[in-house]
Amino acid sequence: MPLFETTYIGVFTIVLAFMFGTVLASFITCTAGRILAGMDWINEHSKCDTCGHQLGALDLFPIFSYLLLGGKCRYCGAKVPIRCLISEVLLGVVFVIVVLLHGTIDVVMARNLLLAMLMMGLSFCEIDGKVIHEGFITAMLVIWIGALPFVPDLKLYISDKIIACTLICGLFMIVSYLRKSKGKEGFKPGFIKLMAVYLLYTGLYAGVAFLAVGFILHSFVKPFKKTIVPALSVTCLVFMCCMTDRMDTSVIYGYITALADYIKVF
Ligand SMILES: [Zn+2]
């Protein structure tokens, strides 16, 4: 059934999508923090980073907790990083845009949204801990494999993604080898693995476009200069909002053909 059959269902869906995005962002921010602190990220209760006080349900409500408590810990007054609020609003908005564009969230779309969420977690780990945490990459791979039964034309799909993965990662390996042979630093540990999984999601054309924009952000925009994953993560979110169909090679190919047709007319 289409989600926007009536205004009531439409509004309900948008609110739900927004809340879902904020909750997932809150979860992944929290998980990234726990992983960096070496805590058990499933069983342990959330605590304030500064005073260690166990947080209650009221402290964990995305966005509202932050605004109600003025971005401070209720118990010790320590500042909660503004990026918690930004990531929650951002993922909430992306979920709403995706629902509005697609009218529905199918398994492949949900998979892509989870990729965006995991990229966010990976970004926080890289900003705070300077590492590309492999746990997130494994989760991305498991989710990708889990969604495979739901992609149309599986054989073509897999071969396209494997080609993308081999070509681009092969290129990265050569670059890394050349840099090392000149005595320069290669890529960060985990970076090529991350690229391999990222390309399994995007395929060749979209992957090249994603990486190009990501590297431009990383090279020229100040807040993204120190770490690469946040730039790729933001690119991933932006592309997800722009695309009228799934994050797939056919979409980019469609744009290129449309552009070529347009140029031909003039
Ligand atoms: Zn505190």
- Convert the pLDDT of each residue in 114-152 to its tens digit: 999 999 999 999 998 888 999 999 999 999 999 999 888
pLDDT at 65: 83
pLDDT at 91: 93
Ligand 1 mean position to 129 CA, how many Å? 21
Mean pLDDT, range 188-192, rounded to an integer: 88
pLDDT at 251: 56
The structure tokens 């993560």 sit at 233
Task: Provide the pLDDT confidence category of residue 248 given band limits of 50, 70 and 90.
Answer: low
Ligand 1 mean position to 55 CA, how many Å? 9
Is 231 within the bounds of a domain? Answer: yes
Is 37 within the bounds of a domain? Answer: no
Query: Which residues constitute the domain of residue 222?
Result: 152-266
Is 75 within the bounds of a domain? Answer: no
Ligand 1 mean position to 233 CA, how many Å? 29
Distance CA 235, CA 219 (A): 14
Is 128 within the bounds of a domain? Answer: no
Mean pLDDT, range 53-71, rounded to an integer: 81
Distance CA 94, CA 15 (A): 12
Ligand 1 mean position to 38 CA, how many Å? 19
Ligand 1 mean position to 79 CA, how many Å? 8
Percent share of the chain, pLDDT over 90? 32
Ligand 1 mean position to 229 CA, how many Å? 29
Mean pLDDT, range 220-246, rounded to an integer: 81
Mean pLDDT, range 44-56, rounded to an integer: 78
More confidently predicted of 101 and 215 = 215
pLDDT at 244: 47
pLDDT at 168: 92
Ligand 1 mean position to 66 CA, how many Å? 13
User: How many folded domains does the chain comprise?
Assistant: 1
Is 60 within the bounds of a domain? Answer: no
